[in-house]
Amino acid sequence: MARETRDGETRVAMVPELVGRLTALGYEVVVEPDAGRGALHTDDDYVAAGATVDPAALDDADLVVSVQPLATHAARRLRRGTTTVSFLPVGGPSAELGLVADLRDLGVTSLAMELVPRISRAQSMDALSSQSLVSGYRCAIVAAGLLRRFLPLNMTAAGTVQPADVVVLGAGVAGLQAIATTKRLGAVVRAYDVRAAAAEEIRSMGAKAIELDLETLEGAGGYAREMTEERAARQRELLTPYIAAADALITTAAVPGRQAPVLVTAAMVEQMRPGSVVVDLAADSGGNVEGSVPGEVVRIGNAQVWGGRNVPAQMPGPASRLYAQNVVNLVALLTRATDDGRDGGDGGHTLDPDFDDEIVAGACVTHDGVVRHEPTRLALEGSAP
């Protein structure tokens, strides 16, 4: 397991609790010193779980797991044929095309967690979902903290205080979790998503589905697809009164590997009341709210606008736990039993990715000197000199 070196990354790819799962698969688990610190796991915790701690952990590894893509200098320490498992953005504003070219040239087999197909067999490996769950909860708690009023209805001897009105845009995993959490706290929650199927999910969480007189946009893998500028403008117009009436607005509409759509203009935020709060979970990928800044709270009109920046890293404990579980499940898929342990066999296992498997084929970016992810290969060739 590699130590994360990117600024602000507190998560880790393996937690002590799950080391035993990897050793059971036949792996010797070696951890870079201090690698767990961000998620409050000490080297001793890993040793107690059966791992060893070694500054040279990466040098002879068959398999390297991390949250963020390896830094180039770390990748260059890998042996030819090493497999890496991490997030590895290949599209959108944060695409890592230079690193992909390096991994290709180094003969590294790289698997990108965000490319794991969204099929039911791969649910337990879906790190985008598990991290979105963390983000969705966190942004609801952030909204409740910024909002200087009660979320729930309060009936007291001194009169009744009305519950807060919350609007959630985007009802994917993060949006639904934001809905669930603000509902738990007693807010009146309205939510909107461009996908038709979302209205039912929104209602199942106890929120009201905002229904606009617009065509729906169902895309691949349960994500929304992009829309025309005309539709986007009409959508903004129809959403304006809902946003103006909200005490808190939470936006969660991000599509992996793409620029986030601007759902809310600054002019729309300016119609909100004094004391309003906006939480833009998509600020990292361009922002659903015009003017939001990742990692900062800015003022637009009467509203405080919080821009998310690597939000899962704000809850490194559970985010790491869930990510590590995703990793373990993927690693199990990459591992083949060489002996069933009966008749005196050694019960051995070997790392042997099956590239005919839909999940492995989908997640693989580079292997054996070639870029196997087609759009990335085309992007690299397009950008080649």
Pairwise CA distance, residues 138 & 132, whole Å: 10
Of 66, 68, 104, 126, the active-site residue reads 126
Pairwise CA distance, residues 358 & 94, whole Å: 25
192 is catalytic: no
Nearer to a second copy, 117 or 275 (CB): 275
Q: Which residues bind a second copy (CB under 8 A)?
A: 40, 123-127, 129-130, 133-134, 137, 141-142, 144-145, 148-150, 152, 154, 156-159, 161, 181, 184-186, 274-275, 314-318, 321-323, 325-326, 329
Pairwise CA distance, residues 24 & 19, whole Å: 9
What is the DSSP secondary-structure string of 164-188? PEEEEE--SHHHHHHHHHHHHTT-E
Residue whose structure tokens are 């809902």: 242
Nearest approach, Cβ of 317 to a second copy (angstroms)?
Answer: 5
Pairwise CA distance, residues 143 & 322, whole Å: 23
Of 129, 292, 304, 320, the active-site residue reads 129
What is the DSSP secondary-structure string of 126-157? -HHHHHHHHHHHHHHHHHHHHS-S-SS-EEET
Of 46, 137, 223, 323, the active-site residue reads 223
Nearer to a second copy, 154 or 240 (CB): 154
The tokens for 150 are: 């009660």
Q: Mutual orientation of helices 374-383 and 97-105 as an angle, nearest 10°?
A: 100
Nearest approach, Cβ of 180 to a second copy (angstroms)?
Answer: 8
Nearer to a second copy, 160 or 228 (CB): 160
Nearer to a second copy, 4 or 126 (CB): 126
118 is catalytic: yes
123 is catalytic: yes
Nearer to a second copy, 148 or 342 (CB): 148
Cβ neighbours of residue 282 closer than 8 Å, sequence gap 6 or more: 170, 251, 252, 253, 254, 260, 288, 308
Nearest approach, Cβ of 153 to a second copy (angstroms)?
Answer: 11
Nearest approach, Cβ of 132 to a second copy (angstroms)?
Answer: 10
Nearest approach, Cβ of 142 to a second copy (angstroms)?
Answer: 7
Nearer to a second copy, 191 or 315 (CB): 315
Of 123, 162, 204, 383, the active-site residue reads 123
Nearest approach, Cβ of 215 to a second copy (angstroms)?
Answer: 31
Short-list 221, 232, 291, CA closest to 257: 221
Cβ neighbours of residue 164 closer than 8 Å, sequence gap 6 or more: 147, 149, 150, 151, 187, 188, 247, 248
223 is catalytic: yes
129 is catalytic: yes
Cβ neighbours of residue 53 closer than 8 Å, sequence gap 6 or more: 30, 31, 32, 33, 43, 46, 47
Residues serving a catalytic function are 118, 123, 126, 129, 223
